[in-house]
Amino acid sequence: MMRSKHLSIAPCLLLLACLGCGRHAGVKDNASVVLRPEDELRFEVLYNQNCAGCHGANGMNGAAMDLANPEYQSLADDASLIRWISKGMPQTQMPAFAISAGGILTDKQIAVLVQGMRQHWGQTAAAQRQRPSYAGSQTGDAPRGKELFQKSCASCHKASKQEIASPDYLALVSDQALRSIIVAGRPDIGQPDWRTVKPGAPLSDQDVSDIVRYLASQRTATPGQPYPEHREGAE
């Protein structure tokens, strides 16, 4: 009786031994491997962890620039994107992400982000010959920019949630960001680009510079002000 019991256990032990043959000491299952933060090089993971909160889950419908816009991807060159991601964009809420600038991303991870944006959202080539440049190359004329704004932009950007000329909004956005939005548009929220915003003709490089100059002239150094006037005798 005892012998029969031992024989019945033997096949179970053999099965367990076979299951363990493929596992070596010190080797973990792929599912249990956890990457160090600096070793993460998957675009989707890096984008969702660092960019989606402002630019939207799929590069659109976020509070910040529509990165999934092919027109924007064609407009901004790699060096500019790397600079903004690495060091942040002045006069905006865009922070610096490079470790060298106090952020958490390596140069390689930033390169993965730029390459990933190109691969996912840069498929459609935009017309580049007549398009205004990414960086302003001409000095803007604020009075002319005001006229262009009133003719081409004010019908949508009136006194509402989309009032782009609000001094408080303009205090939070840089000239470069304004220029990018005017040229590339924001298709995720229905804003036209440089080709269709101006009735009868696309915006020229000078037109964009003039509008940006006008909007910049509306900024205030103290957004949310003025404070209530001080009254005599008030504490």
User: Residue 153 sits in which domain range?
Assistant: 142-217
CB 166 within 8 A of CB 58: no
Are 117 and 44 in a shared domain?
yes
pLDDT at 3: 52
Are 68 and 112 in a shared domain?
yes
- Local confidence band at 199 (pLDDT 50, 70, 90 cut-offs): confident
**Which of 121, 154, 179 represents a domain boundary (last residue)?**
121
CB 155 within 8 A of CB 224: no
CB-side neighbour CA atoms (13 Å) of 111: 4
How do residues 91-129 score in pLDDT, each as one tens digit? 888 999 999 999 999 999 999 999 999 999 986 555 555
Question: Which DSSP symbol is given to 233?
Answer: T
CB 85 within 8 A of CB 78: no
Residue 222 lies in a domain: no
Are 97 and 159 in a shared domain?
no
pTM above 0.85?
no
Residues 85 and 103: their CA atoms lie apart, in Å, by 10
Residue 203 lies in a domain: yes
CB 187 within 8 A of CB 69: yes
CB 157 within 8 A of CB 165: yes
Q: Which range (27-31, 147-151, 209-213) has the least confidence?
A: 27-31
Residue 202 lies in a domain: yes
Number of domains observed in the structure of the chain: 2
230 pLDDT above the threshold of 70: no
Measuring CA to CA, how many Å separate 190 from each of 26, 62, 138, 157, 217? 55, 13, 28, 12, 26
CATH code (residue 150) = 1.10.760.10
Q: Tell me which range, 7-16, 41-50, 179-188, is most confidently predicted by mean pLDDT.
A: 41-50
How do residues 1-17 score in pLDDT, each as one tens digit? 455 554 455 555 454 45
Are 146 and 94 in a shared domain?
no
Are 72 and 112 in a shared domain?
yes
